[in-house]
Chains A and B, each alone.
Chain A
Amino acid sequence: MGDVLNILLLQNTLRTATPVVLAALGCLMTQHVNITNIGIEGMMLTGAFFAVLGSYFAGSWVAGIACALLVGLLLGLFYYVFVIKFKSDEFIIGVALNIFAGGLTVFLLRNIFDVKGSFSDPAIVPLPTVEIPLIKDIPVIGPLLSGNTLLVYVSWLLVPVCWAFIYKTPMGFHLRASGEYPDALTAAGRSPERMKCLASVLCGLLSALAGAHLSLGYLTMFSENMSASRGYVAFACVIFGRGNPPKVFLAALLFGFIEALGLRMQKYMPSDLTAMAPYVVTVVMMVAVVLMERRKRRHAA
C-alpha cells in the first residue's frame, strides 16, 4: 500500500479537487440568493469545450480561458433571464441546460474538429505550471505547493476572496439579503433581481473556469461528458459547507482525496468500484449534514 499512500496522493488530491472547488464557489453564489442551480454541470462542460476551442485556434491558453469565461458569462445571463425574468422552474432549466450542454458540445466536437468521443491535439496549449521559487525546494511541502497549474492557485486565491466578498462587503451583504429577505432589500432601495443576476453571472464564470481547468489544466483534451457529475458533487459540497467558502473548500478537498485515492487504488481493485467512491461519499456527506444540523438544534433546545 506504500505506493498508494504517499505524497503523490496529496498532489492528486489538489488536482482533482480544483474543478470542484471552482464550481462550488460558483454554486454557492446562487445558493446565497436562494436559487438551486443544478445547471452547473452543463456550464462546466460547455466551459471545458470552449477553453479547448480557444486554446486550439488562438494557440494560447489565455485565449482558451477568455473563451471559457465569455461562454460562462453568456450561460449565466441566460440562466438569469430564464429563471428570474421568466420565473421558470430552476430545476427544469438546470436539467435542460445540462442536456443542452451535452448535445451542443458533442455537436460542435463533430462539426468543428470532426471527431467523435474526444479531441486531443498537440496544438491545444495547456495551462502553464507555476514554480514558486523558494517553496519548491522544501522537501514535502515543495512538490505539493509548487508546480501546480495556474488555476489551482487561482482557486486557492478565490476561496478567501469569495469569503470576503460574501461576508465582508456591502455588495455581498445585499447578495445574501436578496436570498433571505428580498423584501427588506427592496425596502432599502436595492433590487433583489440585480443581485440574483450578479450571482448567476458569477456562477456561470466560475463554473466555466472549473471546466477550463478540466480540459486545459487537469487534462489537455476535451472528451464527451468530461464533467462526469462533478457539478452535482460541487452542489453537495456547498450544502456540506453551508455556503461558507472555506468550509466548502474543505468539503471539495475531501471529495478530491476520495477520488484521488480511488484512482490510485485501481491496481488493487476494479476501476468501476473505485469510481463509485466519490458519489457514495457525497450521499453520506448529504446525510451527515442533515444529522449534524438536527443534533445542533436538539442541543439548542
Chain B
Amino acid sequence: MSGLMQSLRALARLKPAQKLTRDYLVSLLTAVLLALAVGAGIMLVCGHNPIEGYGALIEGALGKPRAIGNTLAKTVTLCLTGLAMSLAAKAGVFNVGGEGQLYLGAMAAAVVGAQVDAPAWLVTLLALLAAMAAGGLYALLPGALKVKWKVDEVITTIMLNSVAIYFCSYLANGPLKTAERGIATGTDSIMAEAAFTPLIKLSNLTTGVFYAAAVALIVWYVMSRSSVGFEMKLTGENDRFARYGGIRTGSLMLWAMVFSGAICGLVGMLEVFGLHKRFLTTVSNEFYFDGMLVAMIMRYSPFGVIVMSFFFAVLSIGSKSMELSAGVSSELILIVQSIIIFFMAAEGGIRKALGERAALRRARAAAGERGRG
C-alpha cells in the first residue's frame, strides 16, 4: 500500500498544480487596483468624490472597534463558505448549493435554540450539530445524484438553493412564525443564554468564531495532512486514475459534498446564534456565492482565501457607510468585486495575450534594427 501511495504521490507531482505563484499575486494586485480604479471612475461619473467614497469605505470597515469586529465576522463567514467550496472542489464536485444549505442550517439551529429545554451549553451544542446535519444532509441529495447517476451537480444545487430558501420562508411565515410583535417573518427567538456573546462590544464578532476556527482547523488538517485529504486531491485531479489506484472515489466525493454542506449549515447557525438570535428570511444575502468566488480566484489556497476574504469583507462592510456618508450606492462594490473576479478568471489568457503582443513588438523592433543596420 505504501509503495502504491508513493507512486501516486510522484505522479501527482508531475501534474503542474495551480498554485499561488508570484506572477499570479502580481496579477491579482493589478486586477484589484484596476477594479478600484473603475469604481473610482464610476463615482466620478455619478458626481461623487472617489477619495471621499473610498475614505468612507475604509472608515466604515476599520474605523472603530465595532466596525473592525463586523469586518472580522464577515471575514469568518467568507472564509467558511470559501472553505466549504474548496472542500468539495478539491474532490472534484462543485457545491453551488451552499446558500440553501446555509438557510436550512440556520433554520435547524433556530428551531433547536427556541424549542429545546436544556442547559445553555447543551442547547448551543445541539443547535450546532443540528445545523451541520441539516446542511450536510441537504448536500447529500445532489451529491448522491452526481455520484450514482452523474446528474450535473451545478444545476441541481442551484435549483435546490431556491427550494430551501422558499421552504424556510414558508416555515418562518407559517408554522414556525413567531407570535412576537414587530417581527415580520421570523421564528421564535432562541434561548438567550445559549447565544454567542460578542467579543467586541456591539459588533457581530462573537464567541462563535472559536467554533468556526475549530472546524476550519479540522478541515485543514484532514485536507492537507491526512491520507483521506490526499485521496481526495487525487480524485479531484483525475478520478479515473484514482479509481485504478484503489480509491473509492464515489464515496469520497459524497463525503466531501456532505462536509461542504455541513460547513454551510454551520455558517447559518453562526448567523442565528451570533447575530439575529432567531431565524429571519434575511439571514443571508448570497453569502455563499461571495465565499465561493473568493475560494475560486484564490485557487483554493487556505492562506490566500483568508487574505482575500478579509479584503472582500472590508469592501462589503465598508460599502454601507460609503452609502450613508458619501452617498455612493453600495452596489458599486458588487461591480468592483465582479471585475476583480473577471480578470482573475482570465488571468492566464490575458497574460498570454499581453506576452504575445510584447514578443511581437520586440520582434518588430529587432527587425527594424536589422533593417537600419
- A-side residues, CB < 8 A to B, are 36, 38, 82, 85-89, 91-93, 95-97, 99-100, 102-104, 106-107, 110-111, 229, 232-233, 235-236, 239, 270, 272-273, 275-276, 279-280, 282-283, 286-287, 290-291, 294
Contact = CB atoms under 8 A, between A and B. Distances in A.
A82 B346 contact: yes
B206 interface: no
B243 to A, nearest CB: 19
A95 B166 CA distance: 21
A37 B170 CA distance: 31
B329 interface: yes
A107 B328 CA distance: 9
A88 B343 CA distance: 9
Given A82-B345, A96-B341, A286-B156, A279 B331 contact: no
A104 B334 CA distance: 8
Contact of B348 (A38, A86, A270): A86
A91 to B, nearest CB: 7
Given A100-B334, A104-B335, A229 B158 contact: yes
B111 interface: no
A239 B353 CA distance: 34
30 contacts: A82-B342, A82-B345, A85-B349, A86-B346, A88-B348, A89-B296, A93-B342, A95-B289, A96-B341, A99-B286, A99-B334, A102-B334, A103-B331, A103-B332, A104-B331, A104-B335, A107-B42, A107-B335, A110-B329, A110-B331, A111-B329, A229-B158, A232-B159, A270-B170, A272-B166, A272-B173, A272-B174, A273-B166, A276-B163, A286-B156
Interface stretch (B5-13, B146-154, B360-368): B146-154
Contacts of A283: 156, 159-160, 163
A272 B158 CA distance: 17
A275 B349 contact: no
A87 B333 CA distance: 26
* Interface residue range, chain B: 35 or more
A37 to B, nearest CB: 12
Given A100-B335, A273-B170, A239 B152 contact: yes
B345 A107 contact: no
A36 B154 CA distance: 10
B162 A276 contact: yes
A279 B160 CA distance: 7
Given A279-B159, A287-B145, A290-B151, A99 B293 contact: yes
B151 A286 contact: yes
Given A100-B335, A272-B170, A85 B353 contact: yes
B292 interface: yes
Interface in B256-305: 286, 289, 292-293, 296-297
B348 A87 contact: yes
Contacts of A91: 94, 154
The 5 A-B pairs of least Cβ separation, nearest first, read A86-B349, A103-B334, A272-B170, A100-B338, A86-B346
A270 B174 contact: yes
A38 B152 contact: no
Contacts of A232: 155, 158-159
Contacts of B71: none
A290 B149 contact: yes
B221 interface: no
Contact of B159 (A88, A96, A229, A273): A229
Contacts of B51: none
A106 B151 CA distance: 34
Nearest to A96: B341
Contacts of B162: 229, 275-276, 279
Contact of A99 (B155, B158, B167, B338): B338
